Every structure is written in C-alpha cells, then in structure tokens.
Structure 1
Amino acid sequence: MGWWHRLNGRTWWSLRLICLVSFCVIGHAAFAAKTKKPVPDLGPTMRFVVVRSNAPGCEPTCPEWISAEGTIEAGTPARFKRTLKALRGRKLPVVVDSPGGHVEAALALGRLIRKNKLDIAVGKTRFTGCQPDAKDCKENDGKGARYFGNPYANGAICNSACPLMFAGGIRRVVGQWAYLGVHQITTTYIRTKLQYRTTYRVVRGKKKIIDKKIVSRKNAGSYKTYEMSKAVEKRLAAYLKEMGVGLGVLETMKNTPASGIQQLAPYDMLQTNLVTSLDSLDLLTTPTICKATPVPANCREIPANKGAEPADVPTVEAKPEIPQPAGTVPPKQEAEMRFALVRGSNPLCNPDCPEWISAEGTITAGTPDRLRKLLDTLSGRRLPVVISSPGGDVLGAIAAGRLIREQKLDVVVARTDFVDCDPGAVGCIARDGVHAGLDGIHAGLTIDSGSECDAACAIVVASGVRRLVGPSARLSVQSLGQARQVEVYLDDMAIGRDLFTAIQRNSVRHQLEPDTMLKLGLTTGRQSVDELTGATICRSVPKPDNCRVMPSANAEAATPPKL
C-alpha cells in the first residue's frame, strides 16, 4: 500500500511492505554436566522432603534432615527456597543423592545452602509409613511429623554437577560407602530456525523497519562440546574459592572425559577441603547426636502423647517446628563451664600448697571471656588448668586454648573435689571470704577417677605447655566441624597432623589410649594430675609457679577438721 506524504514542503513516496524472512540461529543452552549421547535419562527431578528419624529409642528428641534426591534442573533452586521458607529458620542438614544435572542450578543451590549455614551429607533416605510420592497419606497423622525414615550411605551418589551443590555445606561429609564423582562439563548448543514477519517502509529508496515478530520456531538440530570454556572455568574457580574448596577438584573435572566419572577418594576430598571430615552422614543424623551438649539444631523434641498433625503443605515444602506446649520442661543439659581458683587442702602441704584453676562443665561461646576475667585476677601467676568437660563449642574451645597458650599454662584432665562447698552451689563462699566465682579461692583435692575430656575439650588440652591425662582419666576425640580452624589451631600449638587426622576420622566419640595420646603429641607425659597439684610438689627445687605460702594462722584456720 502506498500513499503521498508531504513533510516540510517536500513530497515523499512511502511504500509499506510486509515480508517473511527466515533465519537459522544458534541458541546456547544452559550448560549441563551430562555425559552421554544421546542425552541420558537422569531420573526424576530433585524433590525436597523434611524427614524425622524413625530409629528405635530416639523419641522424644530425634534428629531431622532435608532429603534431597533426584536430578538438578533449572527450577530446583526455587523448590529448595520454598522448603527453607517453610522451615522458618530451622537449620537442618541436607542429605543428598543425585546423578547431577544443571550446573547453574547446582551453583545456586550451593549458595543457598551456604547462605543458610546448613550442613550436607551424601546419602539416601529409606522412608517408613508415608512415601513422598503418595497422595493423601494419613499414616503419620498425629505423630508430629509428615515423614519418617532412616538415612543410609550405601549406594548413594553425588555425581557430575552435584558436587558443586555439595560444596556449599558448612560441614560436608561423604563417608566410605557413598560415592562422589566429577567429570567434564557438557555444553549443548541448540540450532533453532526462526521465521520472522517484518514490517517496514521504504523512504527515499531505503528500508526502515517498523515491526519485527517471530511467526514460527523450528528445531534445526544441535551439537555439544565436552570441554569447558575459559569463561566457564573462571566462573567455577571463583565459586569453589568462595566456598573454601581447593581448585584440585576443578582440575579433576577438567581431566576426566564427559563420558566417564572420576570418583574422588576420601583423603583427596579432605586435602582439597571438599569434605570437612572423613565422617559419614551419621555425623549429622544418628540418633545419639541428640544426647550431646549443646543439642544440635536439627534435633527436635516431640513430647510423648503430644504429637501434632503437620500442616498440609506440598511435598517440596517442609514441616515447620511444632511449638512446645506451655509448661514443657526442656531437656536437661550440662552446666556451662565455670572456673574456680583452688588451693590444695591436704594438711601435708601447709603452709606452702599448690593452687590451680578448676575448669568443669560444657564449653560455650562465652567460656573464653570467663577464663580471661579469671586470668586477669592472677597478676601473671601461672596456675595449671585442671579440666573435666564433655566438650561443647569448637570455636569457644579454640579461643580458650589460645588464652592458655598465651599465658604458658599447663593443662591436665582431672576433676576437683571441693572440701568447703561446690562453687556452683547457691551461697557458696570461698575461703578468703569472697563469693565463689572469679575471685574466690576454694579448698579442694584433685582426682583422676571419673574425670572426662571429650570432643572439643581435647582442643583445650592441646594448648597446654605440659599436657597430662592420667591413667584413670578418660579423653575422647570426635570430628568437630570447623575443620580448617581446628587444623590451623593444632598447627599453631605445634602438634603434628596425626592428631587432626584422628579427630576428623571419628564420627562418634573415640577414647584414646595413653600410648596413643603420647604418640599423637596430645600429651607430653604419662603422669597423673598429682604431677601438677600433689601435696609434695612445693618441696621440689625449683619450686613450681603454682605454689604459694599462706600465713600460718590462715593456714591453720583453713585446714579442714577431717580429710
């Protein structure tokens, strides 16, 4: 159609034409870590289910986790976000079993896991009662959770793109029965034939496009490349660095053909920090973890006969924590570590008796501050630390240990038997008249028997200049998380790597024998606590730093009537 058009006194001839133009364009598909031609069926899309342990005897307080099983696809991160939103801030570990899938989605999942500070393990979940794919299942109604099951590692995989998701965990474990493998990334390029309808004008013999619209789209074939580009390699390297994982993982990916899978050995994963310990998923899901102090975040109590029916949410979402009924008594926990200054009460030592710092209870984030306040009252005196503790906060133990090493103190595992009153008792007054606590000096005796030093407590022991665990005392190690911080700390304490390896490879508490502790460098001798606090040590030459003479009148007044 044409017409005359006058503009600024000049005459133009305009012609509007409609043309159909076909193009063959190449679309770059989101790169996916797939391995074979034709594209293999990697199974169902990953689904997320919150599961409660069905292990016998764990109720009323049982561990819970997020079961993540299936192929990672572009929409998987959005489903995971909905699961996290339903949890309302609860931090549950992720138990993953996946053949891989979409790389960009795996990176997004890893960042979500890291942002929410979640742990991750490779494993499967065997469901009891209602299954995730069952609709309108009411078998678990009234039990306080929608899904129950038991995790297991045998046959579980995390391959291809899955290790990128796995790298996002705070604590990351695979174990000897699960399988984690990597290979080259496969990038798929898709040719698409597009047909456009273009509307344009001819002005002074030149075409001016007015509108362009796609009227048909046809597949014109595709091709793949099996080597990652420099841009992709750079992006993956930046991600692994962000997650604190060594680039050795990326090198193995590059050197393994896309048609195969290279399983990473446990020690190699530990060396590259892809795993934080050699433990299996039991570290995060075994029922006994709920007996630890403090209780892990993924343990939840459902009081007997108080089960509540979970909310009606999609399978992809998770059951939020059920509020405890009014008046519910929380599970009993060990008291936080308290420090007390103690003077030997054995009459054989008067007036020159040994003194020490008694440290008993669970290590918490506040433990280093309490220790620092006590040390400030000593005016530089170096008293040995007599410790008995079930463990506790790893970072708190590291900070307390650094304080002990800074002051060049000795550490021994034992407990203190107070002869006046227990410092934790209400109204307990120390010997010098000051209320029990940081400034009071109590009378007491040290005893090996019945003392314990478990898990994070061993970190504190490692800080001593002299480090002793008597034959009647017990010391156990266990993987603690925060592997990098623990490794650096032990190196700063000049203790060999063998101790770090022993800690990392035990998912449950493992008692060390005296010869083993000496060989690992954790102890400096086989002596008992009497080496540092015995009644006769103050007669030796040179006299130990922790001996102090009290005026005879005070000494007599302080002597207990009976021993």
Structure 2
Amino acid sequence: MSVVRSLSLRGWAGLCAAAAICLVLPGSAMLGGTVRAATTLEERKLPMTFKWHEADAACAQDCTGWIGAVGVITAETPAKFEEFSAGRNLKGATVVLDSSGGSVLDAITLGRRWRGLGLRTTVGIVIERQGPSGLARDVTPDAYCESMCVFLLLSGNTRIVPDGARVRVHQIWMGDRADDAKAANYSADDMMIVERDIGRLAKYTFDMGGTGDLLSLALSVPPWEPLHQLSVEELRLTNLVTLDAVADMRKPSDTAVGTAAPKAVQDRVPSVIVSEKNSLPPVTKTAEATAPTGSAAALSDRK
C-alpha cells in the first residue's frame, strides 16, 4: 500500500481594561516585578503546546483569556488542542503564536477549528510578572510566526501583528528532502502531492479571508533561499492583519471566555466546519521541513 505524504512549510504593558493586548517593550515589564518568559527558542523547535493564561485581577470583567501556542505543528497538534480545550469555553479567546511552522494539512485542520471557535490571533510571547494584585500577564512581540504558522494566524476572526513580531513565508516542500532540496530527486507522485496540497492551501486561504497575494508571496520563495519577512504593507495586502490598533482587539460587547463549560467543546462547533484531515486516506506521512528561527533566521535574511 502506497503512503500518501503531506507537505509542510519551513520552518504589548499588560492586559488593560480598554484593550486586550497592550504594547510592552523588552524588559519594561520588570517594573512590575520578576518576569518569567513563557517560551524559549528551544520550545519553539518542539511540537506545539498550548497554555491557558487567565486575565489578571486588574483587568476589566470583559477581558478574555489568552492561549499561548508555541512550537512546531505536527500530526498530533490538532488532537493536543482538543485535549487542551476540553471543558473550556474558548470562544473569542486570543491565540498568541510563536512557531516555526510545520505540517500543511494539520495546520489547515487546526486553523479551521480555530475559525469555528471564533478565536482571535496575534504573534508574540506571553510573559508572567508579579504585580501588586498577584501574578499578571503581558505579551512581548519578540516572536516569530513562520511558514504554516502564518496560515494559523490567518484563521483568527480578528488578527494583529504588533511592531517587532516577525512573520515569514516560503514554499511548501517535501519535508524529507528539505535539507538539500536542489540536489534531491522527485517523482511524478511527489509533484502530485505538491500540487494537491497547494490546492488545499489555496482553498483554505480564501475561506479564511486571505488574498492571492499571500499565496503568491509564499510560493515564490524556494526552500534553499531565506524565508521572506512580510513588510507592514504586505501584511495588509495579504489581509493577515484586520486591526490597526491593539486596543481594537477587544470590544465591550464581547463575552468573557475561558470559564468551565457544561458541554464538550465539540458541541459548540458549527456542523458546517469540516476537517480537511477527515477526507485524507487513512495512512498519512507528515513531512517536516525545518527552518532557522530566532537569531539564526534573522541572520539568514541578511544574506
């Protein structure tokens, strides 16, 4: 029995009453006490994990919870999110992304799930500090959203990329040949897989409200070249950002989220939301193409 392979892409201060996320400069949160970063470069290289961050005591009652999503998207990531979300009403929560990308089809599955839940998305690292009322949370924009993470960012009902965050794109590729993509051999089946997943990614992009410019920019960068960092103009052109100001992320009419729910999470998902993964053959190999992140990625863009 042949194995059908999938593709992958290569890899604000404090919550306040008027806004969901406010700008914090690196190190400035030290004024409120000891800061503990919720992510590291090493965590970004591991399979994606999810962590719930409650609103701190100083926040107005309409403030939502944050979901810290850190790491690489793998075949297990959608199931890990279901386990994380069980018993929580996440509708309208904000996902804070720091990821180097991962599996194409699993990112599509997860992105559709997030859209069904009405989640918001942004790029950053959640940090925790000791405030006068106890443990408080902040977000620093010193983070990366690369390759398929960009398409998870696109799944948010509202989307913000703060100044300082890096959003980078490139082509999808056979992950088992990404290390030396030029020298590798490719079969007709490989070309079929590439074209199939480009089609699925294109449909997903338009379903999420993205533009053809996002696909054009991503598919023009081969894996042997540095990832392309999207400019402010390109973030708008691709419709990856929907809000100009961070304060617009939270509306007074929004309901609070993150409390225990009496029903299972899947009961709140519209029946029209269909997982792309459910339509795949039962045997699937997820290919992973690695990419430089953090300081290494910054250096590669200057070549």
Q: TM-score range by the shorter chain?
A: 0.5 to 0.7
Q: Which has the higher strand share?
A: 1
| Cross-structure match for 2:93 | 92
Tell me, yes or no, if the aligned pair for 1:186 and 1:224 is still in contact at 8 Å. no
Determine the structure 1 residue equivalent to 2:80.
79
Runs of at least 4 residues off by over 4 Å: 25-28, 59-62, 223-228
Comparing both chains, which one has the higher relative contact order based on Cα–Cα distances under 8 Å and sequence gaps of 6 or more? 2
State the number of aligned residues. 220
Match for 1:34 among 10, 14, 22? 10
Q: 189, 200, 208: which is aligned to 1:243? A: 208
Does the 8 A contact of 2:61 with 2:256 survive in 1?
no
Corresponding position of 1:232: 197
Which of 179, 201, 208 in structure 1 is aligned with 2:166?
A: 179
Structure 1 stretches lacking a partner, 5+ long: 1-24, 130-139, 191-222, 300-317, 323-563
Are 1:152 and 2:140 counterparts? yes
Contact 1:48 1:83 in 2 (8 A): yes
Give the 3-state SS of the residue equivalent to 1:95 in structure 2. Answer: strand
Tell me the CA shift for residue 251 of structure 1: 0.7
Q: 1:278 aligned to 229, 232, 244, which one?
A: 244
Distance 1:166 1:115 in 2: 14
Of the candidates 255, 272, 282, which is equivalent to residue 297 of structure 1?
Answer: 255
Specify the alignment match of 1:111 in structure 2: 112
8 A Cα contact 1:189 1:224, kept in partner: no
Contact 1:101/1:160 (8 A) holds in 2: yes
Do the aligned partners of residues 175 and 41 (structure 1) sit closer, same or farther apart at CA in structure 2, a change above 3 Å counting? closer
Answer yes or no: is the 8 Å Cα contact 2:125–2:140 preserved in 1: yes
| Counterpart in the other structure of 1:68 | 69
Tell me if structure 2 keeps the 8 A contact 1:54–1:149. Answer: yes
User: What SS does the corresponding residue of 1:58 show, helix, strand or coil?
Assistant: coil
Q: How many angstroms apart in 1 are the aligned matches of 2:202 and 2:8?
A: 17
Q: Deviations over 1:75-96 (max 9, x none)?
A: 1111112233321354311111
CA RMSD of aligned residues (A): 3.4
Query: 1:469-480 alignment to 2 at 5 Å?
Result: none
Question: What TM-score does the superposition give when structure 2 sets the normalisation length?
Answer: 0.62
Following superposition, the deviation at residue 261 of structure 1 comes to 0.8
SS at match of 1:249: helix
Higher helix share: 2
SS of match in other structure, 2:97: strand
| Counterpart secondary structure, 2:175 | strand
Picking from 201, 223, 229, the partner of 1:263 is 229
Deviation per CA, 1:420-454, whole angstroms, max 9, x where unpaired? xxxxxxxxxxxxxxxxxxxxxxxxxxxxxxxxxxx
Return the index of the structure with the highest Cα Rg.
Answer: 1
What is the TM-score of this pair, normalised by structure 1?
0.35
Residue by residue over 1:352-408, the C-alpha shift from the partner in whole angstroms, topping out at 9 and shown as x without a partner, is xxxxxxxxxxxxxxxxxxxxxxxxxxxxxxxxxxxxxxxxxxxxxxxxxxxxxxxxx
Distance in 1, Cα, partners of 2:143 & 2:88 = 25
Distance change in 2, residues 1:44/1:89 (3 Å): closer
Identity across aligned pairs (percent)?
26
Q: Counterpart in 2 of 1:320?
A: 260
Query: Which residue pairs with 1:196 in the alignment?
Result: none
The Cα of 1:170 is off from its aligned counterpart by 0.6
| Residue 45 of structure 2: aligned partner | 43
Gaps of 5+ in 2: 12-41, 178-183, 263-303
Do the aligned residues in 2 keep the contact of 1:32 with 1:185 (CA within 8 Å)?
yes
Distance 2:139 2:176 in 1: 39
For residue 196 of structure 2, give the secondary structure of its aligned residue in structure 1.
helix
Distance 1:234 1:293, change over 3 A: closer
Deviations 1:17-42 (A, max 9, x none): xxxxxxxx97453212235xxxx996
